[in-house]
Structures are given as C-alpha cells and as structure tokens.
Structure 1
Amino acid sequence: MATKRRPLRPNLSGAQSGSNMNFRPGGPDITRSEARGTRPTAAPTSIREILVMGVIHLCKKTIFFNTDLKVALYLGSLFLISLIGDFLPFPKTYFARSDNLFNMYFVKVGWGWTLLFTVPFLVLTALTLSCGDMKNMLRHHFPRIFIATFFWFFWTKIFNIIETSYGRCTVRGFQTKSGCLKAGHLWHGFDISGHAFILIHSSLVLIEEARPIIKWETIKEHIRNELHNRSVKENTGTNPLRALNDEQMRTLKFLYTRLTPIIRTLFIGMAALQLLWDIMLVGTMLYYHRMIEKVISGIIAILTWYFTYRFWYPTPGLLPDAAGNGFFHYQRDSFAFKRPTHLPGCSAAPSSSGSGVRANPNGTSGTRIPGKGGLAGSPGGAGINTQQIPTFMGMPLFTNAKAASAAANLLQTQQQQPQHQETGVDS
C-alpha cells in the first residue's frame, strides 16, 4: 500500500514547513548570501542570437583552422602546384586573366581590404579588454598594425628593387625597367611574387588579429557572475574579473554590450576575406610567376609572421602585446575540476589528504564538505560520515558547509526512525 510522501525537511516551522519545498537551494535556514553555490541565470536567448552564434561558429571553424598546418599547406602547395604549372600549364580559366574582377579590385589593393576589417576589430576588442583605457590600447595593441604595414611595404619594395636591379629588357638599348615598359617591351627579371606574399601575409595577420573572438561570449558570463559576487560580498573564486575595480567593471559591461554586435560583424567580414585570400592564392599558384619566385615570397611571409606573432608579441616585457591580452585573461581555463578522494559505495578507504573541494564551471570555488577522512571539518559538521551526505553522480549536492551538515543530520535521523519502529513492533 502506498504511503504518504514525507518531506525532506520536517523540522521546518511556519510557512516553510507547510510548503514542503524539497528543492529549496542551500538547505534549511540558509540565506541567499550564504548559498555560495547559486548563481544568477542567463537571460533567454533569442532566435536571432542563436542564428548569429551559428554563423560565428562556422566562421571560427574556417578562420581558426590549425595555423601550423595551414602554414605547411601554404609552403607545400606553393612548391608542388607551382612546379607542376611550370612544366604542365593548367587550363585557362577566368582567374588566369590579369584583369579579372577579384585581381583588379581585391588582390591589387589587398592590404587596404585587410586594414579595412582588421583596424576597427583591433580597436574595439582592445578597447574592451582594456576597460576603456585608450592609452593602454594605443600603446599595447595598435602598434601591431603599424608593424604589419611596415613589413608589407618593406618587402614589396625589396622585391621591386631586386627585379629592377637584376633584370633586362627584351630589346637592347633599355637599361631601366620603366624605360623598357614605356616603349612597349617586356622586362625579364627575378620577379619575387608580390601577390603570393601579400595574400599569405594578409591571411596570417587576419587569423592572428581575430583571436580575441575566441571565448568572447564567456566575458558576458564572467561579468554577470562577478557582479553577483560583489553584491553578496563574496571575494573568493577564480573569476578573471575579480581584480577590476568598480569603475572598470562598469566600463567593461557598457563597452561589451555596445560593441559586441559590431565586433561580431567585423569578424564575419574577416573570415570571409581570409577565405577569399586563400582562393586567390590558389589562382596565383596556377597561373602567375615561376615556382622559385612564389616559394621565396611564401617563405618570407611566413618568417615575418613567425617572428612577430609567435616570437615578438608573446615575449613578456616587449611591446606590443599579443592579440587578446588586456586587464583580464578570459581565454584561460579558469577552473579545475577535482574528483573527491572517496565516493559512496567504494571499498577503498578515504585518503587522509583529500581536499573535498569542487570548482564550479563559472570559475568560483565551492566550499569544503565537512566530514571525516581528510575533509575539512566545520562547526556543526564534525564527525559526519561522507556516505551520509546526499550526493549525485558521486558529487555532493551542497557546496555550503551549513547546508551539508543540516542535510546529513536530517538524513541520518530519517534513517534511524524505521529502525526504532521495527524495534517497537518486535518488542
């Protein structure tokens, strides 16, 4: 015969006992400020937001393809495809024409298109990560654009000087390239491919400067949790924003809310432009320049990228900083999940050095569970067996010491009641 369901907290009085709330967070007599495990929930996500995040995810998969592997593909393709093209000319297509639309309006002004998307993206992301500090943004981030532009200008000029100095006209009597071309003749020289260089250089700069978008959405969660922590006077945890002052928090929240839609739009444009540069690079491999000229330009572009973005910028103490750095570090793993040293039902004895600490996914640390076997004790919780603490999938249901102690005592009392009833029947 079915019996009436008993509440988990029969000792509560007044309105609480009448409501039979078996799911009240934090346990009996626990105020919201003491319920360390609770956090404010996120706002509902709209259909538009879901669609935007789907596009952003697709763009991330496209632009953040393994960079080291992409560099290897660049070099291998420049060598293999260009070598085949030197001996076995490929069938002519629209991309073989030097006056094709993409070559005239994109590749020839390729660095301008790269700056059109990269500069505002860098400024907006760096300003947000600097919590509105314009001087920090200009000093630690903006110089990367000048450095990339300098190398683009420097190498293209070097390529032109080499071609002019070590070439000759098809008709004798013309000693300069400009005079030969003005007369309608051809100039033969060692023409290191400026197209291959600018396409690879632009692609790698776009990839590196777009990296702040990685885990950008987690900043919203960090802001929400940090504001909650400060409202309940909770100073513990591993939230990356905990070191910011109140003014920086207000500025960060304002800039993140206002600038995120623009940053996402710019990132989509950067991903599309980077894909276009890869397509145009294939056309350059197939129809323009000799293999050695393209391979040398590709090597120079890759070495320039490696020197700046892999050696110079990540080096501590040198300016400018790497993309994504700021007053806080949101791209690091901010929590570590530790399993308890003893789970209910295990035959192994509990370790004397177990921590019993569980870190929450939002970066805040939980509270030690009172008990024996190395778990930190607390007033009212000493002597509680770990097997009596309510658990789910091996982890304690409560992250507050007071709540865990009260729940364990209540569970122990309920387990003893049937024993007393059976004793009375037998007697």
Structure 2
Amino acid sequence: MASKRKMTSSSTNMNFRPTGYDPQRQDTKGTRPTSNPTTVREVLLQVLMFLCKKIIFFDVNLKVALYLGSLFLVSLIGDFAPYPKTYFARSDNIFNVYFVKWGWAWTLVLSVPYLVLTSFILCCGNRGKLFKEHLPRIVIATFFWLTWTKAFNFIETMYGRCNAKGVDTKIACLKGGHFWHGFDISGHAFILIYSSLVLIEEAKPIIGWENIKEHLRNEDHNRNTREDSSSNPLRNLEDDEFQTVKEMYEKYTPLIRILFISMTALQLLWDVMLVCTMLYYHKMIEKVLSGIFAILTWFFTYRAWYPAHSLLPNSVGHGKFLYQKVKPQPAVPFRKQSLNYGNAGPSNRSNDVPKFMGMPIYQQKPVTVTTTE
C-alpha cells in the first residue's frame, strides 16, 4: 500500500507544471543563437560561389608557370606552323573589340566597387583608412599598366621602320597605308595576364566572408547577454563600429557576391583571350617578354610590397578585425618553421587531428604541462 501511494505521489510530481508554463518555449539563457534554415536559393548560390572560388583561386603559382610556359611553347609552334584561322583570329571579333581593347577599363569597373565595399566593411566604415590603405593599390596598378604600355609603344616606334621608302615615322607610315616593322611587345598579352592576376588578388576578401555573418550573430548575442568570448574577432570593436559592420554587411553582401561572380567570369574570359593571343597574334619573343613584365609587376606589388606593411598601401583583406583562417605553411627543409596563422590567430590543437567528414578519426591525448616553482 505504501509502495502504491509512493508511486502515485511520484507520478503526480512528474505531471506537475507551474502556472504559465509554455511547452513550446525553451530557456535559451547561455546558449548561442543558431542560424536560420537554408533555402534552396541559398544552396544554389553557395554552389555557384564555390565553383567561382575554385576557378578564380586556382593555384596562382601554378597559373603563373602555365602562363609563361604556354606563351613560349604555343607561340613558338605558331611562329613555324601557323594555326588554322578561326573567328578569334580576326582582330575585329566582338571580344577583342569590346573587351580586350578596353581590358583595363573592364577590370576597374568590377574591381574598384568590389574593393571599396569589402574594404569599407573591414575598416568599419572608416573612409580615411579606405582611401589611405586600400584604394592606392588600384592607383598603383593603373600606373604600372599605363607605364608599361607606353614603354612598349615607345620601343616599337623608336626601333622600327616603314616598308615604304622615305617614311620615317610610324604615324605617317600607317596613314599612308603602309606597314610599320618594329619590335612590338604584346600589350594585349600584358594586359590580359596582369588584369587576371590583379583580379585574383583583389578578390581574396571573399574567402571566409560568410564567416562574418556567424561572428556578427555571436557577438551580438555576447553583447546583449554581457558574455565574454575571447575567440570572436569582433570583440574589440566599439559599439558604433560593430553596428556599422553589421548594417553594411547585411546591406552590401549581395552586391559583393554579384561583383565576385562577375570578376570570376571576366578573369575566365581573359584567360580564353590570352590563348587566342598566343595562337594568332605577335611573335613568341614579344609575348614572352610582355608576360614576364606582367608577372614581375604583380610579384613586386602584391607579393613583396603590400604584405611587408612597411609602406602604404596595406595588403588585401587587411582591416580592423581578422576573419580569415590561414593554413600553416608547409615544412621547408633547412628552414626554421613558424606557423603562419595570418588573420586567424593561433589555432586549436584539435584542428591538427585528422578528420573524416568533419569528425576526428581518433581522440587526441591531452598535453600535460609541468611547472616548477
């Protein structure tokens, strides 16, 4: 009997619900906010963005080697055994007239607004940092493009001759319907390679861009609940800076994605037109030299100058908060190694454990540290 009474009391307690209890409502105190369900449209957009990243961020060192090797080999074959003529062999084809001849303008039309929007967000709306640390990269690139193309034209004009006797200048030769023989370093090959490399470098802020959304959501939760998170890259921003980043990120990210997809399509077009230039235009030495000038200019600016941070401007993606994760550098023989975490800071040791489908294959043993007093 006592046992039965005890069970009845326990059952009554289990079914008890306080006044005002809502079974659909859960206590979320101390829990992180979760992201909204992903729609089909967002999934398709993510797939498209993934494909674009695979195209434009193809190993740039390998791409540079392919540029130089193709300029030499494909052009050399064309010098001795001309390729069959196609629509792209005509200088008046639509891509050459409306895109290649205006190549740098197309590059600026897409890269400048993309740079302004991404850098403005990373600088928390600070116009001074935008104009001082990021826009000068495009100005410098334009300066080198103009300098080299003028130099190529000067060399062709000064060290050439007309096929008609008594005509000493290139302008008079061409106006008279004659042909000017000169060392014509390929301006098209230069602009196509240099524009491609500039687009690849300036597009890099999109890497990890979606992570900012999660950082904003978590940091907003932390500030509302007065929790402290040492791992959130936005934790050191002032309240007005945080609010500025939040508003601009939500407002401009769709446009940034459109610009990035367009930059990828343009970079792909430049590669296609470069192949056409290799096949049908200029001599091998003229194309190889222009490619060397383009690659050296890109290497000097984006690989040597900007990452050094000794002189302005800053490197791509630099701002008031760090959101990109950089993998550790591979081991190099006879060289003292130091992990380069870039914008991410030191990584968690659990990241070093091999994973399959995101799950660790084995549990890493804890590391014990002993100290002596």
TM-score (norm 2): 0.82
SS in 1 for 2:85: coil
SS in 2 for 1:239: coil
Partner of 2:50: 57
Partner of 1:247: 240
Q: Which amino acid aligns with 1:93?
A: T
Q: Report runs of 4+ in structure 1 exceeding 4 Å deviation.
A: 11-16, 349-352
Aligned equivalents of 2:246, 2:184: Cα separation in 1: 51
Q: Residues 184-217 of structure 1, C-alpha deviation per residue, up to 9 Å, x if partnerless?
A: 1100010000000000011001110100011100
Q: Residues 271-319 of structure 1, C-alpha deviation per residue, up to 9 Å, x if partnerless?
A: 0000000000000000000000000000000000000100111112321
Q: Which amino acid aligns with 2:77?
A: I
Partner of 1:191: 184
Partner of 1:353: 369
Q: Residues 303-352 of structure 1, C-alpha deviation per residue, up to 9 Å, x if partnerless?
A: 0000010011111232111111111110034541449xxxxxx9xx9875
Closer/same/farther in 2, CA of residues 352 and 160 from structure 1, 3 Å limit: closer
Closer/same/farther in 2, CA of residues 51 and 174 from structure 1, 3 Å limit: same
Q: CA deviation at 1:227?
A: 1.2
Q: Residues 119-160 of structure 1, C-alpha deviation per residue, up to 9 Å, x if partnerless?
A: 110111111111111111111101111111111100000000
Match of 1:312 among 301, 305, 310: 305
Closer/same/farther in 2, CA of residues 84 and 148 from structure 1, 3 Å limit: same
Aligned equivalents of 2:153, 2:16: Cα separation in 1: 88
Match of 1:295 among 267, 288, 293: 288
Aligned equivalents of 1:236, 1:93: Cα separation in 2: 61
Closer/same/farther in 2, CA of residues 117 and 13 from structure 1, 3 Å limit: same
CA RMSD of aligned residues (A): 2.4
2:214 paired with 1:216: no
Pairing of 1:105-254 with structure 2 (within 5 A): 105-254=98-247
Aligned equivalents of 2:196, 2:320: Cα separation in 1: 28
Match of 1:91 among 84, 88, 97: 84
Q: Which amino acid aligns with 2:174?
A: L
Pairing of 1:239-278 with structure 2 (within 5 A): 239-278=232-271
Q: Which amino acid aligns with 2:369?
A: S
Pairing of 1:75-90 with structure 2 (within 5 A): 75-90=68-83
SS in 1 for 2:216: helix
Aligned equivalents of 1:315, 1:14: Cα separation in 2: 67
Aligned equivalents of 1:65, 1:53: Cα separation in 2: 18
Closer/same/farther in 2, CA of residues 193 and 352 from structure 1, 3 Å limit: closer
Aligned equivalents of 2:304, 2:367: Cα separation in 1: 45
Aligned equivalents of 2:126, 2:15: Cα separation in 1: 54
Pairing of 1:308-387 with structure 2 (within 5 A): 308-332=301-325, 333=344, 335-338=347-350, 353=369
Bigger shift: 251-260 or 128-137? Answer: 128-137
Partner of 1:73: 66
Higher percent of residues as helix: 2
Q: Which amino acid aligns with 2:120?
A: L
Q: Which amino acid aligns with 1:234?
A: E
Q: Which amino acid aligns with 2:92?
A: D
The structure with more radius of gyration: 1
SS in 2 for 1:240: coil
Aligned equivalents of 1:350, 1:324: Cα separation in 2: 35
Q: CA deviation at 1:235?
A: 2.1
Aligned equivalents of 1:352, 1:111: Cα separation in 2: 57
Q: CA deviation at 1:53?
A: 1.4
Structure 2 unaligned blocks of 5 or more:
1-12, 326-343, 352-361
Structure 1 unaligned blocks of 5 or more:
1-10, 26-30, 340-345, 355-427
Q: Which amino acid aligns with 1:254?
A: E
Partner of 2:40: 47
Bigger shift: 265-274 or 325-334? Answer: 325-334
Task: State the identity %.
Answer: 61
Q: Residues 354-378 of structure 1, C-alpha deviation per residue, up to 9 Å, x if partnerless?
A: 9xxxxxxxxxxxxxxxxxxxxxxxx
Aligned equivalents of 1:351, 1:176: Cα separation in 2: 77
SS in 2 for 1:53: helix
Count of matched residue pairs: 323
Partner of 1:362: none
Structure with larger RCO (C-alpha < 8 A, sep 6+): 2
8 A contact 2:309–2:315 mirrored in 1: no
